[in-house]
Chain A
Amino acid sequence: MIAPIHDLLLLLVILTNFWVLGTTRLSATVRATAIQGLLLGLLPVALHPGWTAHTIGLAVGTIVVKAIVLPAFLLWATREAAVRREVEPLVGFSASLMLGAVAVALAFAIATRLALPDVPTRLLVPVALATVMVGLLVLTTRSKALSQVVGYLILENGIYVFGLSQAERVPFLVEVGVLLDIFVGVFIMGIVVFHINREFDSLDSARLTELKD
């Protein structure tokens, strides 16, 4: 038998992580997170094939927020701020790709030691951990504020994947609340990005250390 569909989705999530790590164009990283959001939206349906209102609602909510609204907003912010590329990341692109591969290996090593009750597939926890680590990597090593927002989104995606292992136990309202939080968070970040750009004519967050009264 060919690998089940949810394993393929999880694999594609890792590949989108690599894509974000390896590309310089900001619009491409935003598009990668949009695709990741879509994959995450499909995951609960693939993992729990019961078609309950809970999983369907979770899937639709995730796709609308993570694959459509947030990427569209971030693309708007990229256009507004007229930044195209991540020019000088703290860690180079080849090095961050290698670190990403190390993160995946580490995630798999850690996941085998975690004792969790009835995880639906053995790929779920390692992919969640790897995505969190990649998000952290992007968040800390990229200098453009927009890339950092993307990193935050990926970090949150990892936490979402981890939450899926217990999706049947988490009340629907909590999930919706989390989605709303992210939405508001990214919205505020977008406005901050916009203001940084207007104030400094650049999105380089390193410039923020020069703030004076």
Chain B
Amino acid sequence: MSLSSVVMYLLVCALAPLLPGIATRTKSLLTGRRGSPVWQLYADLAKLFRKGAVYSRTTTLVFRAAPVVLIATSLLAAGLLPLDGRSALLAFPGDLVGFAGLLALGRFALVLAGLDTGSSFEGMGASREVMVATFAEPALFLGFVVLALATGRMSLEEMLGVPLASVWSGSAPSLVLAAASFFMVLLAETSRVPVDDPATHLELTMIHEVMILDHSGPDLGLILLAGSLKLALFGTLVTSALVPRGGMAPFSSGLVLIAGLVVIAVGVGMVESVMARLRMNRLPQFLVAASALAGLAVILELQRP
């Protein structure tokens, strides 16, 4: 832990809500509309946190705890990444499993909350969300395996930090493949087209939106905030795998990360404006393709002399 990592942590957490706004704005501009301002999510959050929450009488503590668990796990997971390119807030060997586990725990809480409402509608969303997660997680782990093989380390701080910068050019092809796989996982994890459509309100096609339908006020605000943070986390994974920042000064490294996150948000918006949502039965194929890319990268890394 260093001063620059604390500053970057606070900065990324503060700027994360901009990313969905940038993605939405890109989409509106590309489809010939003006669109909402980039800081729309800040306005939404301010509005939601001023409101009161409405709870159905069938719900229990599980429902109320879920948003808090979700935001806590997301903030913790962010602490495991070396956001300034050198050090994370918290690092220990094997924390890559912790990173995936924390994100899974947050999702698990949200799924339970969805089931807790007793509505078959939200249960359907919850089951779909779990299906997407089941296929996304192997791809994420295979990507981590590539980073671990390339650097020979088992902690995210080192896998994405200084050791990666020294080995990057030697295993560039496999790292680019891993980054591509991370980007596909990002689209799935943050409920974006082509896996899910954040704009849809048609019950037959909704996945994430339908699961959080009963949350209101501050609870919904926390869920939206955690969603934007997740976009920033996976964006950091993609950026770090593509641009090794271990050798840079803290300031330029932070600048590169933020530029990378903006580019990824624009990329998400571009994907959304050129692709349609995949049919539900084609979803596994998309994520299996992500796993296949990461698997190929693993094989390449194993073959590296």
Contacts and interface: CB of A to CB of B under 8 A. Distances in A.
Instruction: Please indicate whether A and B come from the same complex rather than being unrelated chains.
Output: yes
Interface of A: 1-3, 7-8, 11, 14-15, 18, 22, 93-94, 97-98, 100-101, 104-105, 108, 112, 122-123, 126
B155 to A, nearest CB: 26
A94 B172 contact: no
Contact of B295 (A22, A105, A112): A105
Given A94-B285, A122-B305, A18 B292 contact: yes
A8 B173 contact: yes
> Which of B282, B284, B288, B302 has the largest number of chain A CB atoms within 10 A?
B288
Contact of A97 (B285, B302, B305): B285
What DSSP secondary structure best describes chain A's contact surface? Answer: helix
Given A2-B169, A101-B292, 18 more contacts: A1-B169, A7-B173, A11-B173, A11-B177, A15-B293, A18-B292, A22-B289, A94-B288, A98-B288, A100-B292, A101-B296, A104-B296, A105-B295, A105-B299, A108-B299, A108-B303, A122-B303, A122-B305
A2 B167 CA distance: 11
Nearest to B294: A101
Nearest to B177: A11
B150 to A, nearest CB: 13
A42 B301 CA distance: 25
Q: Which 5 A-B pairs have the closest CB atoms?
A: A101-B292, A94-B285, A94-B288, A101-B295, A94-B284
Contacts, number: 49
Contacts of A7: 173
A18 B293 CA distance: 9
22 contacts: A2-B172, A8-B173, A15-B293, A18-B292, A22-B289, A93-B285, A94-B284, A94-B285, A94-B288, A97-B288, A97-B289, A98-B292, A101-B291, A101-B292, A104-B295, A104-B296, A104-B299, A105-B295, A105-B299, A108-B299, A108-B302, A112-B303
B282 to A, nearest CB: 8
